[in-house]
């Protein structure tokens, strides 16, 4: 009998629809939750079989990696949960504290600094504690729940949404993360189960957000899952992913891009 697939999922609200009901499929999966950078590290070292990895990490991992078709965390424009927070206009920023949980967003911001903002700031890796980050640097890159739930207006901060900036630069969607693993990690039944979990989770997104956020933040979480995040990987989203990979290669963030391959 085949052992359950070791899944590494992201411990943010936006990932919850992709794991909806998987705790009931212990015949197929065992699931753990970590920040995105940790998911990638665990997959690369072989401690999990399939990870919800930052999209940039597909190019940094084994060349046998495959992506689960149609299961990704994407945005068409405003993403709300990946942003640069600053006390000054983006064109004046000279130093950025970059969330250590991030891989894809860190790379995207480096691309945007050159391609869209025309700045060359110093990047300092720091844990996602905005007060500490803004004490040391002029701006802070935050991802996931810390970015989504931060009341930036109350702190007098500007919020530069990276999803918006990418769409303005390219006119394309952005792919933040997806399920990926080595070619032999998933059976056809396991792939089907991950797609079915996505379908069920998207259909139940209001319930997912309410359970995750609690009463005080439920409305914000529900609107976010409905309006900002998409969970497919269609041709246009793949076009956005390829464009991101091309720019990452152009700016030396990865050694080389390679074709997008699916299970």
pLDDT for the residue 215: 85
Q: How far from chain centre, in Å, is Cα 6?
A: 20
In the chain, domain spans: 5-74+173-250, 82-170
Return the bridge partners of 51, or none. Answer: 8, 180
pLDDT for the residue 129: 96
Q: Report the half-sphere exposure of 44 (CA within 13 A, side-chain side).
A: 14
Q: How far apart are the first and last CA of the chain?
A: 21
On the question of a common fold for 5-74+173-250 and 82-170, the answer reads yes
> How far, in Å, CA of 47 to CA of 180, rounded?
14
What string of H, E and C letters represents the secondary structure of 174-207? Answer: EEEEEEEEECCCCCHHHHHHHHHHHHHHHHCHHH
> How far, in Å, CA of 5 to CA of 166, rounded?
34
**CATH class for the region spanning 5-74+173-250:** alpha beta
Q: Could you tell me the two tokens for 183?
A: 């070619």
> How far, in Å, CA of 178 to CA of 184, rounded?
17
Give the residue ranges of the chain where pLDDT is below 50. none
Q: Is 82-170 a CATH 3.40.50.300 domain?
A: no
Q: Give the number of other Cβ atoms within 10 Å of residue 150's Cβ.
A: 19
pLDDT for the residue 1: 65
Angle at 128 between CA 124 and CA 133, to 5 degrees: 50
> How far, in Å, CA of 41 to CA of 62, rounded?
12
């Amino acid at each position: 009998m085949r052992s359950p697939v070791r899944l590494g999922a992201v411990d943010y609200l936006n990932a919850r629809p992709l794991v909806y009901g998987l705790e009931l499929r212990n015949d197929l999966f065992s699931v753990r939750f970590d920040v995105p950078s940790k998911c990638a590290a665990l997959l690369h070292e072989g401690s999990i079989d399939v990870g919800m990895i930052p999209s940039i990490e597909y190019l940094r991992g084994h060349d046998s990696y495959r992506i689960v078709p149609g299961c990704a965390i994407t945005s068409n424009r405003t993403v709300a949960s990946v942003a640069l927070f600053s006390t000054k206009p983006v064109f004046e920023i000279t130093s950025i504290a970059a969330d250590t949980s991030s891989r894809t967003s860190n790379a995207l911001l480096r691309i945007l600094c050159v391609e869209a903002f025309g700045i060359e700031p110093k990047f300092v890796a720091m844990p996602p504690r905005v007060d500490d980050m803004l004490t040391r640097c002029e701006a802070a890159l935050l991802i996931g729940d810390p970015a989504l739930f931060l009341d930036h207006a109350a702190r007098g901060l500007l919020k530069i949404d990276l999803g918006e900036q990418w769409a303005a630069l390219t006119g394309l969607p952005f792919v933040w993360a997806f399920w990926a693993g080595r070619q032999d990690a998933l059976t056809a039944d396991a792939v089907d189960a991950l797609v079915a979990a996505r379908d069920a989770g998207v259909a139940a997104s209001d319930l997912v957000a309410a359970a995750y956020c609690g009463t005080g933040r439920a409305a914000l979480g529900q609107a976010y899952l409905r309006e900002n995040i998409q969970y497919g990987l269609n041709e246009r989203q793949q076009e956005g992913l390829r464009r991101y990979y091309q720019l990452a290669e152009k700016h030396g963030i990865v050694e080389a891009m390679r074709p997008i391959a699916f299970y």
